[in-house]
Chains A and B, each alone.
Chain A
Amino acid sequence: MKVRSLTTAMIKDHFRTFEVIFWTVLFPTGLFILFTSIFSQVFTEGGVEPDLHYGVHYEESTYGLTDGIFRGVFHEMESAEGSDFTFREVDSREAGIELMRDEEIDALIEFPPGFSEINERIIGEDSEETGTLQLYHTSRSESLLARDIFHSVIDEANLQIVTQGQEIPMEFEQQTVTEEGEEDFRYENFIFPAMLLLSILTISFFDMPLGLLDYVERGVLKKINASPVKPRHYYIALMATQFAVLLLAMAVLYLTSTFYDVSARIYSLAFIAYLLFSSITALSFGLLLSAFIKKTATMAPVSNILFFITMFLSGLYFEVEVVPGFLRWYSVINPATHLVNGLRAILFENPIPTASFYIPVLWFAGSLGAFIINQKKVMQSE
């Protein structure tokens, strides 16, 4: 009865705090929607369809088959379904480079004088002529992309020219591999566990330790201590409150996931069980922080610093291999890394790495131990 009464009061307090609801529930959901909208298209068939513009300069007009082939290549690129490529002729290299600097085109293709001499080779005559196109580009991402795409296109064109359009006796099969499984990689499945963990981390780094300190500093805990409520009742109520907020956050994320075709394995027993495991272990980090930091003025910066470092070095947004070597140790010891790996392993139907169990458990034990030892100091009781 006491616990229920206390929990109800604490839940109301939490749910009426905008910042708690925003950072725990709305922010991860918003990020999920934003990231998925931007990145998921990279992994769909056809991939990214960037909007790229090419300038074309003919130092000398092309003619014959050369002219036909390359104009055909440009036309095909422009008219390909879903394509946003454009080609425009420019009068001079300087004009083209100027347009590129002004970002009106992303790359400039230049046909040098005598380029059409490859016509003989195209028709199969014994010739050693090679036509070298000049591709001017900048270091802007779009320009580099335009360069890479054009290289691919020319590579393809070369083959077409040599085979004269005939079939090449080679069939291709594509297989995507992720980690140890063969499940198709979908960005939604990659980012969804990260957003679930983000909700959990928000509570464990901010809501729990700062909320606890707030209650201590405002005298709320003192008031509770002066009542028949035992400390264990308070802790039960505290954890129940955090779980209530987390439940809401996860419910919203799950609901959002239905619009993004996230794998149905998020409803599997294994995933939910591991999610529960992640929640319990990650929430204990809040207790660890509370065990050592006694003032809000200190806790606020420490929580922020640890939270953001953890966010970026735990493989939430991108895999840890990107993290430079000298920082990799943080990713390895950090339990959030292993928790998100565990969740992803289940989604991609891979075995859960053992580190995804024992490292969070070690942290959980350590956090709980530290909190219990320092409990009296935390609660600032005599």
Chain B
Amino acid sequence: MNNRFVNLTKTFMKETFRNKLDIFFTMLFPVLFIIIFGNLFMLGGNGEEAWDIGIAGEYESDIEAYFSPHEMATYDSEVELQQALEDGAVDVGVHLREETATVYLLESFQSMGEGIFLQQFVENAIRKYAIDFEEEITTVEDQLVAAGDVEAFEIDYLVTGIMGLSLLSGGMFATIGVFGRYKKQGVIKRFMATPMKPWEFVVSASLTKVLLNFLSILVIVYLARFLYGVTLGFHWGIFLTIILTSSIGMMGFGVLVLLVFKKTDTALTGASILYVIMTFFSGVYFPVAFIPDQFQWVSRLLPVTYIIDVLRYGAGIETMSRAYFISLNLAFVAIGGVLLVFASKKFVSVEKQ
């Protein structure tokens, strides 16, 4: 193999892996998200957790049966009940009088979404109690279906989402650094004065970033397994393919950002804005369905959405036709590759103008 290429790759490896900021954002940042959001999602499970229902006032003991399968806790007064709610001892409180019931809900960021279900469940339970409701005429039995090859839980969707975002940031910021920052600092120019060929520079820099991305994904996968028992069934071949193609695709996206914003500092700012937008519109932390209708289409425009789709397919938790999977990967490589070639001609070349 070309010694020059090998040496250049080694140089980039050292430079990249010693760059604290790069390492933090590529590897530790996703870890932070896994820990915080994983905890949040695990608290929610698949939405099958038991609620704690607090009750005070005038009622018979058989009311407890109507709250099943959730837990009931009794309180002597409305004040105590409210206190219990504020303290987080119960998820909802009911103060019952003869023909009126006051339902107390703690409205906070955490209880958003499930608040409405809590309220409806409790009100229906009390109605049933009021009429001595005996048995449901209709029941619903849930059947979890695997969207892909294996059954998955919300946490699996979160983890693959975080993997996608990590590939996005790893690729995008990498090229801005390599082509923007190094160009601005004159590092590229110095290398250009040697026999090094532009493709050697671009490929060795890209390979390093792909490796960093790969390591960050491994960290995410093993941390999720360690903390939350998440086991994503990746086939190694598909796994490596996705990381390689997505990294190239996102590096190409970074080149695009640099071309649009021209100056490195502005490109970094622009990339950060795009990263925040993609984080929120990718459906990783909350469903796209929650986003106002007029903005939902944004989600389908974002490259990260497709990366997450292929990751979920690769992990077996989502389904996708093989042809579509191959097309997406080819698209990442093709578009990213073309943009990287363009970048090498524009940034790693003799100045014409």
Contacts and interface: CB of A to CB of B under 8 A. Distances in A.
Complex contact flag A–B (Cβ < 8 Å): yes
Contacts of A190: 108-109
B141 A144 contact: no
Interface string B137-148: 111111111111
Best-surrounded residue of A135, A138, A156, A318 (most CB of chain B within 10 A): A138
A78 B255 CA distance: 46
B290 A48 contact: yes
A136 B290 contact: no
A168 B290 contact: no
B39 interface: yes
B264 to A, nearest CB: 11
A154 B296 CA distance: 29
B54 to A, nearest CB: 11
Contacts of A19: 265, 269
Contacts of A162: 131, 133, 137
A102 B319 contact: yes
A147 interface: yes
Nearest to A108: B145
A62 to B, nearest CB: 11
A185 B105 CA distance: 10
A323 B139 CA distance: 36
A341 B115 CA distance: 22
B128 A132 contact: no
A327 B35 CA distance: 9
Interface stretch (B182-190, B201-209, B281-289, B342-350): B281-289
B101 interface: yes
B242 to A, nearest CB: 20
Nearest to A323: B36
A174 B106 CA distance: 11
B234 interface: no
A259 interface: no
Given A152-B121, A162-B137, A312 B146 contact: no
Contact of A159 (B43, B46, B109, B124): B124
A102 B145 CA distance: 13
Contacts of A130: 135-139
Interface string A136-175: 1111111111011011101111110111000011111111
B137 A158 contact: yes
Nearest to A175: B104
Interface string B83-120: 00110100001000001111111111110110111011
A133 B119 contact: no
Contacts of A179: 86
Contacts of A173: 100-103
B21 interface: yes
Interface stretch (A37-45, A227-235, A239-247): A37-45
Contacts of B290: 38-39, 42, 48, 50
Contacts of B141: 132-135
Contacts of A308: 29, 32
Interface string A77-114: 00000001000000000000100111000001000000
A171 B136 CA distance: 22
A264 interface: no
Contacts of B131: 159, 162-163, 168
Interface of A: 18-19, 22-23, 27, 30-31, 34, 37-39, 41-43, 47-48, 50-52, 84, 97, 100-102, 108, 118, 121-122, 128-145, 147-148, 150-152, 154-159, 161-163, 168-180, 184-185, 187, 190, 300-301, 304-305, 308-309, 312-313, 317-319, 321-324, 327
11 contacts: A133-B139, A138-B145, A139-B156, A142-B287, A144-B46, A159-B131, A174-B102, A174-B103, A175-B105, A177-B104, A318-B109
